[in-house]
Amino acid sequence: MAIRYAVDLTDTERATLREIISKNKAKRSTIINAYILLKADRPCGWTNEDIASAYEVSTKKVEQLKKRFVEEGVEAALYRKPVTNLHRRKITGDEEAHLIALYCSQAPAGHERWTLRMLADKMVELDLVDSVSHETIRRTLKKMNLKNGVFHRSKMLPLSAKWKKS
């Protein structure tokens, strides 16, 4: 099988990788990546399968690491990519308070109680949020431990409970 990505380390890159390994101050994943890159260097002659079994990683990881090294460089191959999919909360504290007040209020005419979809639609209608799903409403109400307009306490006994004495 042909080598897709060939790793050719310079002397300075090799020295940097050995320094990371010898100091043992970096994250475990960084150290393993350094070991993999050293063994993936062409003069070493290790195959992807040999590297994967030696460091208990998948061959896919070895291939991806070699690809990242060839395309982006040593730094990109050593360290993890920064997280780019940060999620903004749809409902903040103020909106939660409005949601609870709405949930505890009288249900619309013709309905016995609020449904999750009706609550989501009403939140959008009142311009409290731009858009929100019924699932977000469900999670928020569950987090508040709210059911049928009543806050439920946990089943755990209070700390001052007297235990049965024999």
What span, in angstroms and rounded, lies between the C-alpha atoms of 5 and 23? 28
DSSP code of residue 43: G
Q: How many Cα atoms are found within 13 Å in the side-chain-facing hemisphere of 124? A: 12
pTM of the model: 0.54
Tell me the torsion sign for CA atoms 11, 53, 66, 45: positive
- The per-residue pLDDT for 2 is 55
**pLDDT (tens digit per residue) in 64-122:** 999 999 999 999 999 987 777 777 778 888 999 999 889 888 888 898 888 999 999 99
Structure tokens that stand for 79 in this block? 């360290």
Alpha-carbon separation of residue 131 from 99, 135, 136 (angstroms): 14, 12, 10
Closest residue by Cα to residue 94 from 118, 117, 121, 126: 126
Q: What pLDDT is recorded for position 165?
A: 56
Instruction: Please give the average per-residue pLDDT across 27-45, as a whole number.
Output: 92
